[in-house]
Chains A and B, each alone.
Chain A
């Protein structure tokens, strides 16, 4: 069975710039699928091609097996929620929502009842006769969703729908959006540059960079098992290490020499050969900090270092620890059992401890992706 919505080898160029480069995706019926990436990565271009506002230079798009590549937007069973909402300013909320149904020439009574149902779904019945300018950002967003859903599309396309809202409202609407998805059960394609939004709402995520899909997977896969340095650095924060495989311990674990740190044990989640240059991603929250030299259990690593920077975040604290040539980002929780310890200070010597399982070997490493990491300025 072929996918519900399928992008097949899509390429789109603007002059000499390739916005989307041979992208293939299969999106299943009823799932929330996110296109996640920084601005200019091609995610919006891909969405516009799904909506019919843009046509790929190469490749085809299928919806339920039908080629819709060149179908104009008004003939696609697909609706869009725009980033700027794009509500019609001269029409009331009710008229905005009724815009699509009226074009489909359904009987007036039926249109009215459908619009009422949508107003209830997004909880805006009390504002039905207001103009869009009289609504708050969150309310406008809900009108935009209702206006799209009333047409009963097979796929709802959401283009950065929460980007213009503040953090608290964004989190609330995300929950509402999830509830709406549960109720209508259609396919959502969600374009965002916010990894938090993508992680919390999606069934699957496609991480895009420079017109290419770097990885497709469920949120935990993307976070825990990033395929490339871009995915590791763009989603959450991480530490990159470069080393050489020096010896094999068993089928799963190897030893890897890192310049200035020495030999550490790594998990061979990718096939490696003795002498290979490998790149490792190690998430800050996987590392444990201690003042004394920790006792190592099997397949654990420990490295001494000097605290160079401390940033307090409330729920956790971030430390940047200097280990010879490396600056390692560490996230520590404030647990009550640590209260008897004196708080960590700049210049303290600490030991970093992590299990070989917590490091993840990258398939593809690019030095430029290091710029995505949050690092305090070097002195």
Chain B
């Protein structure tokens, strides 16, 4: 069916918005990736494949690998924690449900960077947790909580957990819990009923939660910068470093393009699945 004129007019503002704030900036970044870098920093004249070629650098490959692993582990932990929370939230009486939802949302009122900074204090070598763990002998004298991948994952899970809880809760709230009774009645053990009936029932929320955590995780750079160490750098941190410190804009752009394509892959997969 051909879209009619009024429909085109109605969608024009959003198209314009998308064009100005998404398509044009992305196109500019893609273009910069094919420009030469100036030794003093900035973008040179003419065209060059240097920045693109530099992506083959094994440093970048291992960086990409680590980025995906950390993102994956964080996403998995977020989902694993969000599932039971969403389950119990959906089963709570409405007054308690909105109170607890409020508690989940309240941390957003504090600036993200400040919250990460707070985690620096919590996980600090002389902080309360480190001292406590050292006291009971779990943590060695020279072991540190801060400055490693584990710290990055802990703080990332903390940051993204609400984003995982909300879509799963929205789906669980609509889930008909009588279906679980039906599954049990037909002979399913509790976990089997959960897996064969509850998980398929909240599938949409689950997929949304995975994307909403995994995609921003791929681009995260504040958390690895603030609580990670030298061996927990992620792709995002490298882009920031190339951009702000080295002023090698073409290389930063090339890395950004690689990341964009990486993010697009699961999105396209999801679209294909929706169409099916």
Contacts and interface: CB of A to CB of B under 8 A. Distances in A.
Contacts of B189: 74
A311 interface: no
A74 B196 CA distance: 14
A73 B184 CA distance: 6
Interface stretch (B57-65, B85-93, B174-182, B262-270): B174-182
Interface string A139-157: 0000000011001000000
B82 to A, nearest CB: 21
Contact of B183 (A51, A89, A99): A99
Given A84-B176, A84-B178, A86-B179, A103 B188 contact: yes
A90 B186 contact: no
A84 B176 CA distance: 10
A82 B186 contact: no
B200 interface: yes
Contacts of B179: 86, 88-89
A79 B186 contact: yes
Given A84-B178, A88-B179, A100 B186 contact: yes
B197 interface: yes
A78 B200 CA distance: 26
Interface residues of A, number: 23
A147 B201 contact: no
Given A89-B201, A90-B200, A90-B201, A103 B187 contact: yes
A80 interface: yes
A86 B176 contact: yes
B187 A100 contact: yes
Given A86-B178, A88-B197, A73 B192 contact: no
A298 interface: no
Contacts of B203: 90
A151 B197 CA distance: 18
B187 A74 contact: yes
B185 interface: yes
Nearest to A51: B185
B93 to A, nearest CB: 13
Contacts of A16: none
A104 interface: yes
Contacts of A151: 186-187
18 contacts: A51-B185, A53-B181, A53-B185, A72-B184, A74-B184, A74-B185, A74-B189, A79-B186, A84-B176, A87-B182, A88-B179, A88-B183, A88-B197, A90-B200, A99-B196, A100-B187, A103-B192, A104-B187
Interface of A: 51-53, 72-74, 78-80, 82, 84, 86-90, 99-100, 103-104, 147-148, 151
Q: Which 4 A-B pairs have the closest CB atoms?
A: A100-B186, A86-B182, A90-B200, A103-B187
